[in-house]
């Protein structure tokens, strides 16, 4: 961008565009991080609470169950066994989590495995649309700035596509760039990739036909920036209650299992 600005004599305008682009990108990244903090803390706290119930609270009832000598309900046996396993083999669980995380990171360094993950990510109901709009919005804004800065269209598409975080989307853009060089235009190859929503394709096609491609690309980026923000807010609104309800059901199952056993022991005593 700086080289293009120097060559075209519009370095001041180019730097202003780059600064605005970086501010938008950082603001969106911070929004993603901020939206992830509360659900992550809630999930960790809820998991620790369930572990505390299984390893500290539940063992207080084991002597009573053993003295009763009665056959415990299946749910109670499962919960008691799970608590005992956590008490004895918690270190194996911890090692397993660390090993799985290390294995996942190693696997993700393999391009083929990472590409499969990215394709699967795009197929998810809510997450897929969020990732698609984020990457396409970023691609459109970068491409528009590069074209406005005087960068040749094939080079601009290659640079903008390389910034996509999802490899499946990046591959689609790379294929579209190759077709663009062969003279197939921009909107048709992007449509053939199957990764671009209809709205983006319509606006790109309109920009090509009217000679206002840079303006249309900026408009697409603005639209998808807002849609990503809205989607993040909705996802957060759904995620927090889902975690709360899920953990509540787990704790409720544990409590119900203990109460069922206590009621059975009381009935035998009567």
Average pLDDT on 83-91 reads 83
122/130 Cα distance (integer angstroms):
9
Average pLDDT on 51-55 reads 81
User: Are 103 and 208 in a shared domain?
Assistant: no
User: Are 156 and 104 in a shared domain?
Assistant: no
* 194 secondary structure, DSSP code: T
Contact 178, 157 (CB under 8 A): no
For residue 264, being part of any structural domain is answered with no
Radius of gyration of the chain (CA): 27
Name which of 55-64, 210-219, 244-253 the model is least confident about: 55-64
Average pLDDT on 29-42 reads 80
User: Are 107 and 141 in a shared domain?
Assistant: no
Kindly give, in sequence order, each residue whose CB lies less than 8 Å from that of residue 203, ignoring residues fewer than 6 positions away: 216, 219, 220
User: Are 199 and 232 in a shared domain?
Assistant: yes
User: Are 102 and 160 in a shared domain?
Assistant: no
Residue 63: what pLDDT? 75
Whether residue 253 has pLDDT greater than 60: yes
Cα angle: 13, vertex 212, 169; to 5 degrees: 90
Helix axes 153-162, 127-148, angle to 10 degrees: 150
User: Are 129 and 195 in a shared domain?
Assistant: yes
Residue 85: what pLDDT? 84
pLDDT-derived band of residue 95, with 50, 70 and 90 as boundaries?
very high
For residue 33, being part of any structural domain is answered with no
User: Are 232 and 168 in a shared domain?
Assistant: yes
For the chain, give the number of residues. 270
For the record, the structure tokens of 81 come out as 């066994």
For residue 224, being part of any structural domain is answered with yes
Report which of 190, 189, 162, 169 is spatially closest to residue 121, judged by C-alpha positions: 169
- Its domain, for residue 94, covers 87-113
Whether residue 87 has pLDDT greater than 70: yes
For residue 175, being part of any structural domain is answered with yes
For residue 203, being part of any structural domain is answered with yes
Report which of 102, 207, 223, 122 is spatially closest to residue 169, judged by C-alpha positions: 122
User: Are 206 and 229 in a shared domain?
Assistant: yes
Average pLDDT on 206-213 reads 87
**Helix spans in 149-212 (H):** 153-162, 167-181, 187-193, 198-210
Q: What is the CB neighbour count within 10 angstroms for residue 122? A: 17
The pTM of this model reads: 0.72
Name which of 6-20, 37-51, 242-256 the model is least confident about: 6-20
Range of 11-15, 25-29, 131-135, 246-250 with top mean pLDDT: 131-135
CATH number of the domain to which 230 belongs: 1.20.81.30
User: Are 134 and 108 in a shared domain?
Assistant: no
Residue 1: what pLDDT? 67
Q: How many separate domains does the chain show? A: 2
User: Are 102 and 177 in a shared domain?
Assistant: no
**112 vs 21 pLDDT, higher one:** 112
User: Are 191 and 149 in a shared domain?
Assistant: yes
The mean of the pLDDT values for the chain is 82
Contact 200, 184 (CB under 8 A): no
Average pLDDT on 201-211 reads 89
For residue 147, being part of any structural domain is answered with yes
Backbone angles phi, psi at 211, to 5 degrees: 75, 20
**21 vs 88 pLDDT, higher one:** 88
For residue 160, being part of any structural domain is answered with yes
Residue 102: what pLDDT? 92
269/168 Cα distance (integer angstroms):
65
DSSP assignment of 44-105 equals: HHHHHHHHHIIIIIGGGGHHHHHHH-SPPPHHHHHHHHHHHHHHHHHHHHHHHHHHHHHHHH
Name which of 62-71, 132-141, 190-199 the model is least confident about: 62-71
pLDDT-derived band of residue 84, with 50, 70 and 90 as boundaries?
confident
For residue 56, being part of any structural domain is answered with no
141/218 Cα distance (integer angstroms):
5
User: Are 162 and 209 in a shared domain?
Assistant: yes
Residue 88: what pLDDT? 84
């Amino acid at each position: 961008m700086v080289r293009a600005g120097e060559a075209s004599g519009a370095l001041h305008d180019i730097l202003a565009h780059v600064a605005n682009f970086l501010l938008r990108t950082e603001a969106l990244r911070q929004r993603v991080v901020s939206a992830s903090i509360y659900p992550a803390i809630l999930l960790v706290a809820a998991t620790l609470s369930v572990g505390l119930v299984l390893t500290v609270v539940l063992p207080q009832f084991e002597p009573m169950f053993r003295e009763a000598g009665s056959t415990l309900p299946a749910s109670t046996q499962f919960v008691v066994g799970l608590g005992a396993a956590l008490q004895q083999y918690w270190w194996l669980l911890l090692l397993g989590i660390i090993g799985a995380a290390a294995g996942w990171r190693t696997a993700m360094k393999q391009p083929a495995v990472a590409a499969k993950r990215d394709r699967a990510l795009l197929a998810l109901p809510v997450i897929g649309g969020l990732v698609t709009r984020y990457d396409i919005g970023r691609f459109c804004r970068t491409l528009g700035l590069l074209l406005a800065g005087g960068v040749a269209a094939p080079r601009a598409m290659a640079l903008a596509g390389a910034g996509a975080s999802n490899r499946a989307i990046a591959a689609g853009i790379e294929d579209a760039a190759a077709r663009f060089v062969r003279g197939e235009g921009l909107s048709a190859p992007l449509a053939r990739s199957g990764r671009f929503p209809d709205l983006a394709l319509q606006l790109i096609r309109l920009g090509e036909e009217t000679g206002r491609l840079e303006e249309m690309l900026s408009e697409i980026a603005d639209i998808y920036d807002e849609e990503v923000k809205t989607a993040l807010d909705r996802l957060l609104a759904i995620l927090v209650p889902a975690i709360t309800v899920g953990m509540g059901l787990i704790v409720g199952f544990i409590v119900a299992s203990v109460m069922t056993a206590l009621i059975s022991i009381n009935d035998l005593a009567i």
